[in-house]
């Protein structure tokens, strides 16, 4: 079917509603105001004399194919669709040859649209480069994967990456209302579906930012509501469980995990529980989530609340023993505790600084008074000499323990809140005592 045919030819099509309602021009595209509105990024790119090569990066149903077709029409270019799943380099060469002949005959440009371009390996991607360089092709790729990882640097340097976000529910709602009256959609039906605004909003919410899903769901609900109106509960049953956009190995997974951790770090239990729910509903392994909570308890709560690490470890053990769905309760308790605990990354910073110092300074000599002396010779060499056993002196002596070259270096700087404020008070006194004993190169006398 010619997707740029007139509305009259579309109205009798047996294609799914989403295909019949596919926008024919950029002005018909909804949900991407930041890109296509006045001053939008894509509008600005298209204002130049040459059509740019682009990579559209976004979730399913965000309009990647639609935008590519509309761009071809806007630039009077021949639209050449190609699937990286179904085709290979041989097919690319055939497309290039047709594009070259078209160019030689003065028949205009060729826009090669490569769907799922990330499915091509780095070597296959190189097949596009010379033909993009010499102007034989305008390349528009579509991918749901992060181009930084999925595409090679040479190809990325020749294309502008355009990030497409999920379509907002308000835009999906407007799109469905248009489909109900448009001749290409459901507008010419003699019997009109009985759809309330609540039902349309439920469909938009169920679509989860996917315009294709919204329109195809609308077609199903419209057919079911010809005899009598359906309520929201009936529509929910008709459409089935909402499937969230999520890829356990892709950006959605890592974006949600990042938001989950940062919400706990920002002491927002409501946001942390929301992202926990997103991860669980998308099918993430609850043990993965619990392991992240253990890391968080040490990295971000630390000694501001030493109980946090134990609670997180207990949560992992409990989750492994109980399993879903009850494990959600354990995770919820742990997340609420960690998000509301006092925060300190002082221990995390301290160990990284210590490791960096070791890498820089190498294996500095251990002070003699700290060395082991299991033999007479080692004792005669001064190993362990004048070591003061702190427990014999009230628990503290102002000795130095770092190598001589690092004397006075501070790695651990406790936060002034939570339990760490008590640690900080003790450390301040001990460090002051060591500074006061710094009048000799020998280990300090017991205090």
Say which range, 31-35, 42-46, 284-288, 320-324, has the weakest mean pLDDT.
42-46
As a whole-number percent, the residues of the chain with pLDDT over 90 amount to: 37
For 137, residues 6+ apart whose C-beta sits below 8 A from its C-beta are: 53, 95, 96, 99, 110, 111, 112, 128, 131
pLDDT of residue 215: 93
pLDDT of residue 200: 93
What is the band of 3 on the pLDDT scale with cuts at 50, 70, 90?
Answer: very low
As a whole-number percent, the residues of the chain with pLDDT over 70 amount to: 92
pLDDT, tens digit, for every residue of 149-192?
Answer: 888 888 888 889 999 988 999 999 999 999 999 988 888 777 77
Place of tokens 């992240």: 292
Task: Look at residue 146 and tell me whether its pLDDT is greater than 80.
Answer: yes
Task: Look at residue 249 and tell me whether its pLDDT is greater than 70.
Answer: no
pLDDT of residue 439: 61
What is the band of 447 on the pLDDT scale with cuts at 50, 70, 90?
Answer: very low
pLDDT, tens digit, for every residue of 368-407?
Answer: 888 888 888 888 788 888 888 888 888 888 888 889 899 8
pLDDT of residue 273: 95
pLDDT of residue 329: 96
Distance CA 182, CA 7 (A): 9
Alpha-carbon dihedral 339, 345, 347, 349, rounded to 10 degrees: 150
Distance CA 128, CA 43 (A): 25
Tell me where in the chain the CATH 1.20.272.10 domain(s) lie.
251-340
Task: Look at residue 1 and tell me whether its pLDDT is greater than 50.
Answer: no
pLDDT of residue 244: 61
Among 260-274, 393-407, 408-422, name the most confident range: 260-274
pTM metric for this prediction: 0.64
Task: Look at residue 440 and tell me whether its pLDDT is greater than 80.
Answer: no
pLDDT of residue 7: 38
For domain 251-340, say whether CATH 1.20.272.10 is its number: yes
Q: Which CATH fold topology does 169-239 show? A: Helicase, Ruva Protein; domain 3 (1.10.8)
Tell me where in the chain the CATH 1.10.8 domain(s) lie.
169-239
pLDDT, tens digit, for every residue of 199-242?
Answer: 999 999 888 889 999 999 999 999 888 888 888 898 888 888 76
pLDDT, tens digit, for every residue of 58-93?
Answer: 888 889 999 999 888 888 889 989 888 887 778 888
Task: Look at residue 302 and tell me whether its pLDDT is greater than 50.
Answer: yes
What is the full DSSP assignment across 418-434?
Answer: TTHHHHHHHHHHHHHHH
Q: Which CATH fold topology does 32-163 show? A: Rossmann fold (3.40.50)
Contact 272, 264 (CB under 8 A): yes
pLDDT of residue 378: 81
- Average pLDDT (429-443) is 75
CB atoms closer than 10 angstroms to residue 303: 21
Indicate the average pLDDT of the chain: 86
pLDDT of residue 375: 84
pLDDT of residue 9: 37
The torsion angles phi and psi of 113, rounded to 5 degrees, stand at -100, 115
Residue 299: which of 270, 341, 332, 336 has the closest Cα?
341
pLDDT of residue 307: 96
pLDDT, tens digit, for every residue of 338-359?
Answer: 999 999 999 999 999 999 999 9
pLDDT, tens digit, for every residue of 95-131?
Answer: 889 989 988 888 888 999 999 888 888 778 888 888 8
Distance CA 23, CA 264 (A): 42
Structure tokens given for 369: 């008074």
């Amino acid at each position: 079917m010619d997707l740029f045919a007139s509305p009259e030819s579309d109205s009798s099509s047996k294609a799914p509603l989403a295909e019949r309602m596919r926008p024919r021009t950029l002005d018909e595209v909804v949900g991407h105001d930041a890109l296509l509105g006045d001053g939008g990024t894509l509008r600005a790119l298209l204002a130049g004399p040459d059509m740019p090569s682009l990579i559209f990066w976004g979730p399913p149903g965000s309009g990647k194919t639609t935008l590519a077709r509309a761009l071809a029409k806007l630039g009077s270019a021949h639209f050449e669709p190609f699937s990286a799943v179904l085709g290979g380099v041989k097919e690319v060469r055939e497309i290039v040859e047709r594009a070259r002949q078209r160019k030689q005959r003065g028949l205009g440009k060729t826009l090669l649209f490569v769907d799922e371009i990330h499915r091509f390996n780095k070597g296959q991607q190189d097949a596009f480069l010379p033909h993009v360089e010499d102007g034989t092709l305008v390349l528009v790729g579509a991918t749901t994967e992060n181009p930084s990882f999925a595409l090679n640097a040479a190809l990325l340097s020749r294309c502008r990456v355009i990030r497409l976000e999920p379509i907002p529910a308000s835009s999906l709602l407007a799109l469905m209302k248009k489909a109900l009256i448009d001749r290409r959609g459901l507008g010419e039906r003699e019997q009109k579906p009985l759809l309330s605004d609540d039902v349309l909003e439920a469909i938009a919410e169920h679509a989860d930012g996917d315009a294709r899903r919204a329109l195809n769901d609308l077609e199903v609900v419209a057919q079911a509501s010809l005899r009598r109106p359906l309520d929201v509960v009936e529509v929910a049953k008709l459409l089935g469980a909402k499937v969230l956009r999520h890829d356990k190995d892709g950006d959605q997974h890592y974006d949600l995990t990042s938001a989950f951790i940062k919400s706990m770090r920002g002491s927002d239990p409501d946001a942390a529980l929301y992202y926990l729910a997103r991860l669980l509903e998308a099918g993430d392994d609850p043990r993965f989530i619990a392991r992240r909570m253990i890391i968080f308890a040490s990295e971000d709560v630390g000694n501001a609340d030493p109980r946090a690490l134990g609670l997180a470890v207990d949560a992992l053990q409990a989750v492994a023993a109980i399993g879903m769905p009850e494990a959600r309760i354990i995770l919820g308790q742990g997340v609420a505790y960690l998000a509301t605990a006092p925060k300190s990354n002082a221990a995390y910073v301290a160990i990284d600084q210590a490791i960096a110092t070791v890498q820089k300074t190498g294996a500095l000599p251990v002070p003699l008074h700290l060395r082991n002396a299991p033999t007479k010779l080692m004792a005669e060499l001064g190993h362990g000499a004048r070591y003061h056993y702190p427990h014999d002196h009230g628990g503290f002596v102002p000795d130095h323990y770092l190598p001589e070259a690092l004397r006075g270096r501070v790695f651990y700087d406790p936060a002034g809140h939570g339990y760490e404020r008590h640690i900080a008070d003790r450390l301040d006194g001990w460090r002051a005592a060591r500074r006061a004993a710094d009048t000799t190169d020998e280990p300090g006398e017991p205090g």
